[in-house]
Structure 1
Amino acid sequence: MRRSRATEAVALSLAFAALGTSASAQDLPLPDLKAVETMREDLQLEVWINGRNTGLVAAVAREADGRLEMRADEMRAVGLSAGGVGLVDLSALRGLSAAYDDVGQRLMVNADIDLLAVQRFNLAANRDAAGAPRQDLGAVLNYVFSADGGQVDDNDDLGVQSLGLALDGRVFGRFGTLSSSVAASRVGDTGRIVRLDTTWSWFEPRRMMGLKAGDYINGGFAWTRPIRMAGFQLRRDFATRPDIVTMPSPRLATTAAAPSTLELYVNDTRILSRPVGAGPIEIDGLPPGQGYSDVRLVLNDAAGRQVAVSAPFFATPLLLRKGLADFSAEAGFARRGFGVESGDYAGSPIASASLRYGVLDALTVEGHVEAGAGLIQGGGGLTAQVGGLGVVSGSFAASRTDDQSGALAAVVFDSRFAGFYLSGMSMRASAGYRDLAAVTSRPSFYRNWKMGGDEPPRAIDQFTVSTPLRLALLMRKGEAPVASASYSAQTAAAGLRRQVWSGSLRHTFGERLTAYLTGYVSRGEQRDTGAFLGLSVPLGSRSSSSAGVQVQGGDTTAFVEASRAETQADGTYGWRARIEQGAHQGFEGQAAYRGRNARVSAAAQYADGAVRGQLQVDGAVAWL
């Protein structure tokens, strides 16, 4: 360890005294304290590790005996592993050698792999990157005007039959945002105006918080049923921070034996390439895409050697990143008849709250409670990741009203196994289970001599499977054809069960032709079957044409269609034309033009002797 100046001065004084009495005190030179100081040098050196320039400068102490010392935090900053605090004698570290290059003013270090600090690359955006947003005063009014008319048969007059106007206005500033929307319509001689939502909103991006007063939709999960409410709502709002990735992201780790070039691929698309030094490497913060992803890390050194690490990863919004919380809490009154009545609110106060928390990247817990209108309901669940195969979620809830109680259980899974993508959900509710949607809805039917409302379904089953078909004959050009099948069934509270089976097959031949086949079968109160076969050919960057045959309910119809896609730029246009022949005969045409001040679209239809037309103008007026 370095000696203090006082200790060195005392040692020199004792050395002079030991010379004996042959020389008088006045003949002996006094110790030069300034010379003692120069025996230790404080240097600022460029650091090289294992022959690679780190591009960093560190503070290095060079003692009188030539030993080199660095502070532990300086060592970690330049890429060397060090524990604790204070000065570290580099010569005392086994597996590390350091030399001072006086001419180049460099510190030349050779270190074993285990003495190199982990090189961490976090690709996630900085949580503190978003500053305070501007809160300028402004206002905007969005509008949509529509006119609809036609002629059903030869005896009817051709003319306008209905008019519609929708307005959505907002005023915003430091006080938040005050918004309101209304819809007005006139059909024949009857006109009406309906208020939709009126809400005051305030957001705090740094805390990702949102506060609402007025009309809103309460929070919940896949196993709950949201309702419209009026009152107050406090919730986490990730939309205020688009730089925050809420889903867990994959992590990769490897070790570079020599200076190399690191390349990172997600689904065979390179998203990162940079030089790295020898030593351990960790990559975190990859922005995941929903569903299955294959992540690959490749190291290429100067000798041409390559090291690759692959990791399958399944991303889903069902999971929250570790330590992240999502919540919503509401209190107020239930709203009914939205879009039909301007202000139909139930008389009983109600409240609800929801919470999700990422315990681990692979485990998220959730809870939900509802109360009011004679109901107490609560439940919870958890979602767990099963390696890179997918996730499984399980939930349970119970409810109690004045005269009955019940329970609900649900299971959700998303998975990828042996090239198959599987997803499904199954839910069961007992006859006495209720929620706020049921107890606050308008009674509309009798059951057991009592009026009933919007009761939850007794059973829901959904299942989807898809996979690319590895058929050599079809894969000579283009991607592999993708086949999918799905099944869904729902049993209503009254006992009626409806089931739907569907399937599809899609394949692109080269870059010019896409073929698709879909079909479905439904069973329930009404039975129906249908199939659709089509071919699509692009005609340019924005235009395409297609032809196909549709079979539904025993009727067969063939069609030919051409279209040009509309863009968001001013002065652009789009159109679509379709001709049908067979069980149904007709023509349909649509056109749209996007100008600087408004977008204008028109549509005309002729089907089985009836003529219909529609004109729509939408735009906005803003003051900023």
Structure 2
Amino acid sequence: MRRIIPSRPLGIALPTLSGLCAFAFCHPAQAASHFDEIPAALGSAEAGQAIHAVALQLEIVINGVPSGVIIPVWANNGQFSIAAGDLRALALPVEGDPNALIALAQLPGVSVTYDAPNQRLNLQVPSAWLQNQTITIDRGRRRVTAQSSTGALFNYELYAADGPRSAPMVSLWNELRLFGPMGMVSSTGVLRHNGSDTHYMRYDTRWTYSDQDSMVTYEAGDIATRSLPWTSAIRLGGFQISRDFSVRPDVVTYPVPAFAGEAALPSAVELFIDNHQAFGGKVQPGPFTMTPLPQMNGAGQASVVVTDALGRQVTTTVPFYVSSTLLRAGLTDYAASVGIVRQSYGLRSFDYGQLAASGSFRHGLTDAITLEGHLEATKSLVVGGAGTVFRLGVLGIINAAFSYSRHGGRDDRGSGSQIVIGYQYQRRNFTFAANHTRQSAGFTDLAMIDRLDRNENFERRRSEMTSVSASLALGKFGSLGAGYIDARWRGEKRIRLVNASWSLPIGRSINLFASGTYEVGSDNWAGSLNLLIPLGGSRGTVSSNIVRDDDGQISSRIDYTRSVPTHGGLGWSASLARLGDGDIYADGDLTWRTADIELRGGAYGSGGDITRWLGASGSLVWMDGDMFTANRISDAFALVSTGGTKGVPVYYENQMVGRSNADGHVLVPWASAYYPAKYAVDPLALSDDMTADVVSRNIAIRRGSGYVVDFPIRRMVAARMIATAADGTPLPVGSAVRVNDSSSTYVGWDGVVFAEDLAASNEMAVTLRDGSVCRASFAIDINAGGIADLGTVPCR
């Protein structure tokens, strides 16, 4: 569709262009003007000729792309001029009075062709003048607000064992969750019975709420503090507020490169990452920017190939380095915690110490520099530290941090420091990392303070650890890995270890893995040789290994494993091992999984020392006024409701998960939190008198919560009839039909009309082709079910 811009009053002005900069750099001299030579202003004679020029109404075509806009073009002796305002409306960078004419021939780099038969003016302009196009490759990342219904969940894992050398024992691990729009309250623990002793151990009890808009998570109760790579996490009974990027899968937190190019004509563009095509599409003339896939990591090489309509290709190759340890420029990550230090975790249910506070901070100063900071404090300890992560162009990542602590305890050496420095490099087939940590004798943090204050045997001596590792992919020859560790912890013996490994694929599915470790300065070494043989299909996997420990003893083992099928059934495993002392050790188990529960049982031991065990795990869910049983639910889940309709097939991510039960419910126990998954029902499985207004929905669910996904399926009161005129002939096909002044349809072939949403008594109006309207009345039994066949219905 062409848009016509009315003529402007004729004016005269000096043609200039607004400033443009190159994609990567802009030099001041270039920004001042787009012209090497500024066109001269129109003289009096030229102005007089312009006044007598002919005004044509032409569609403008820019670099081969029709604009769809018709504007006045002034033609005079083969020269063409257009008002500055009209050029700006075409997104061309022209300055000046909107009514002033710009002589196109005087614009540098612009060629003009008049297409008289098609009444078009073809302009070929520098591609840098055109608007920049942004091509987003990863279109799957979009924000969906996560939901949560109100409900409760109880996860359990029951284990019982009996052996000749120990009393029978039974344990019940459990997790209780209460969730709703205001967050989730959860509590975990284990009930144990061993002989005459029965006790309950509580692990964690806390309330959690996440705000997607601000990407902030609030926690109260038993919390684990957020730590940096060079700090330690501790457990507190208190409150924590932290930035939580996981609630927004659409947000890419680390810097990814944007590749740019230009197209003079409509062109095809391709992006290759390390010679693998990542994108292919079309671009219009002008500059463009491509944002690549955020899954990129490490060093690589990107090639942008632009092919125009004439087959000419321009290839631009750029090296890059991407690291997820960096934050995008301007992005901030933080966590602040305050509470009472949790002590004897896993041994006592309610053992808390002194009041403490902890805070961590990260900020993307630039795309190449991320700043870090950390602070801890109690009444007797203050720890502060700062660090940075820095990208060395395409050469890798350096991280460095320094911490200082001041402890006012009984030890007179109450201050100390920690230095951490590291380097990482990664590319598609090679990785390398080196790290060094040194703590002075007086350095203390919250992870150590509890033992110090309780006078436990804790040596306050200098600690050092250096580690170096590398891996190399060799294609069909497998992959190699090597590493070195030099560590001395709190005055203990210095340990220096060298390790190496080799993984080799044999054929299409068999894998051989060999590894070895040697302690420098001693005769101790250990090694292993492993062989993995998948048998294909559902027949399971056979594996075997030979191990030499650092005492020189050699053991061997062979295993067979058949996993439980994805949708439930029977799985089993069996192992036979010869230990280093010559004993024979055996292990075997069976697993039976249904949609409601997983049952396990087995035995293990050697000689007459055999331990037998049984296990069961699953979950109970209360939602939507009903209770459900399922396998253990570790994250979010969904309850699909079909409005009480039984037997409706339900799909999750295009995979059928079941049919609705008598109450119209299907539980989907394996949803991923905050991921916008597709839930759907199959309308083709419904009876003729049933309909679903919505058959698919994309839903994201909060972490640890459940959500009722509604698909209202209702019984449809419908009828089929043949509408006839007064003389008995069928009404013309295509005539508009309106029933009860609400639902509308059309007359089909041979006068057939299908009407929905009917009442016991109905009025029908049909608009014929000549505009006249005929009317009919009919009644049906709305409780009969199915689609009523009314036969012939006269319309008068």
1:150 corresponds to which letter in structure 2?
Answer: G
1:406 is displaced (CA, Å) by: 1.0
Are the equivalent residues in 1 in contact too, given 2:298–2:427 (CA < 8 A)?
no
Residue 538 (1) aligns with residue 526 (2)? no
1:540 is displaced (CA, Å) by: 1.4
1:612 is displaced (CA, Å) by: 2.3
Once the two structures are superposed, the pairs formed by residues 500-511 of structure 1 within 5 Å of their partners are 500-511=497-508
Counterparts of 2:202 and 2:469 in 1: how far apart (Å)? Answer: 39
2:477 partner SS: coil
- Which of 172, 181, 184 is 1:174 aligned to? 181
C-alpha change, 1:572 and 1:517, in structure 2 (3 Å) is same
Cross-structure match for 1:29: none
Cross-structure match for 1:141: 154
Counterparts of 2:574 and 2:98 in 1: how far apart (Å)? Answer: 77
Structure 1 portions without partners, runs of 5+: 8-38, 445-449, 470-477
C-alpha change, 1:301 and 1:335, in structure 2 (3 Å) is same
Residue 487 (1) aligns with residue 484 (2)? yes
Post-superposition Cα deviations, 1:219-273, rounded to whole Å, max 9, x if no partner, equal 2211111100111111000111112111221232334455432222345543321
Superposition CA RMSD, Å:
3.5
Counterparts of 1:106 and 1:170 in 2: how far apart (Å)? Answer: 69
Are the equivalent residues in 2 in contact too, given 1:563–1:576 (CA < 8 A)?
yes
Are the equivalent residues in 2 in contact too, given 1:443–1:453 (CA < 8 A)?
no
Post-superposition Cα deviations, 1:260-319, rounded to whole Å, max 9, x if no partner, equal 322223455433211224443322253134444454433344555544444444433321
Post-superposition Cα deviations, 1:18-45, rounded to whole Å, max 9, x if no partner, equal xxxxxxxxxxxxxxxxxxxxx99999x6
Instruction: Compare 485-494 and 358-367 and name the one that shifted more.
Output: 485-494
Are the equivalent residues in 1 in contact too, given 2:442–2:460 (CA < 8 A)?
no
1:614 partner SS: strand
C-alpha change, 1:60 and 1:353, in structure 2 (3 Å) is farther
Counterparts of 2:381 and 2:178 in 1: how far apart (Å)? Answer: 37
Cross-structure match for 1:254: 261
Cross-structure match for 1:14: none
Counterparts of 1:323 and 1:608 in 2: how far apart (Å)? Answer: 65
1:479 partner SS: helix
2:220 corresponds to which letter in structure 1?
Answer: A
Cross-structure match for 2:232: 225
Counterparts of 2:100 and 2:356 in 1: how far apart (Å)? Answer: 64
1:494 is displaced (CA, Å) by: 3.6
2:365 partner SS: strand
Cross-structure match for 2:472: 467
Cross-structure match for 1:130: 143
Residue 377 (1) aligns with residue 387 (2)? no
- Which of 341, 352, 357 is 1:351 aligned to? 357
Are the equivalent residues in 2 in contact too, given 1:572–1:594 (CA < 8 A)?
yes
2:374 corresponds to which letter in structure 1?
Answer: H
C-alpha change, 1:83 and 1:396, in structure 2 (3 Å) is farther
Instruction: Compare 60-69 and 209-218 and name the one that shifted more.
Output: 60-69
Identity of aligned residues (%): 27
1:480 is displaced (CA, Å) by: 3.4
C-alpha change, 1:68 and 1:479, in structure 2 (3 Å) is farther
1:141 is displaced (CA, Å) by: 1.3
- Which of 188, 198, 204 is 1:197 aligned to? 204
1:527 is displaced (CA, Å) by: 8.6
Counterparts of 2:312 and 2:511 in 1: how far apart (Å)? Answer: 41
Residue 341 (1) aligns with residue 338 (2)? no
- Which of 436, 440, 446 is 2:450 aligned to? 440
Counterparts of 2:187 and 2:97 in 1: how far apart (Å)? Answer: 60
1:434 corresponds to which letter in structure 2?
Answer: T
Residue 429 (1) aligns with residue 443 (2)? no
Structure 2 portions without partners, runs of 5+: 1-5, 12-53, 624-796
Post-superposition Cα deviations, 1:432-489, rounded to whole Å, max 9, x if no partner, equal 1111122234756xxxxx65559797212222111134xxxxxxxx623211111224
Once the two structures are superposed, the pairs formed by residues 443-462 of structure 1 within 5 Å of their partners are 451=456, 458-462=463-467
2:362 corresponds to which letter in structure 1?
Answer: R
C-alpha change, 1:600 and 1:457, in structure 2 (3 Å) is farther
Cross-structure match for 1:399: 405
Residue 367 (1) aligns with residue 399 (2)? no
Cross-structure match for 2:290: 283
Counterparts of 1:251 and 1:578 in 2: how far apart (Å)? Answer: 52
Counterparts of 2:486 and 2:312 in 1: how far apart (Å)? Answer: 55
Are the equivalent residues in 1 in contact too, given 2:7–2:71 (CA < 8 A)?
no
Counterparts of 2:211 and 2:152 in 1: how far apart (Å)? Answer: 20
Cross-structure match for 2:622: 623
Post-superposition Cα deviations, 1:33-88, rounded to whole Å, max 9, x if no partner, equal xxxxxx99999x6x7442246xx65x554266674456677544xxx566899789
Residue 118 (1) aligns with residue 132 (2)? yes
Counterparts of 1:96 and 1:487 in 2: how far apart (Å)? Answer: 64
Cross-structure match for 1:598: 597
Counterparts of 1:284 and 1:442 in 2: how far apart (Å)? Answer: 52
Cross-structure match for 2:168: 161
C-alpha change, 1:322 and 1:72, in structure 2 (3 Å) is farther
Residue 187 (1) aligns with residue 200 (2)? no
2:352 partner SS: strand
2:425 partner SS: strand
C-alpha change, 1:359 and 1:189, in structure 2 (3 Å) is same
1:521 is displaced (CA, Å) by: 3.0
Count the aligned residue pairs: 562
1:534 corresponds to which letter in structure 2?
Answer: N
2:154 corresponds to which letter in structure 1?
Answer: L
Post-superposition Cα deviations, 1:544-568, rounded to whole Å, max 9, x if no partner, equal 323332222322223332323445x
Residue 578 (1) aligns with residue 575 (2)? yes
C-alpha change, 1:413 and 1:72, in structure 2 (3 Å) is farther
Counterparts of 1:270 and 1:573 in 2: how far apart (Å)? Answer: 42
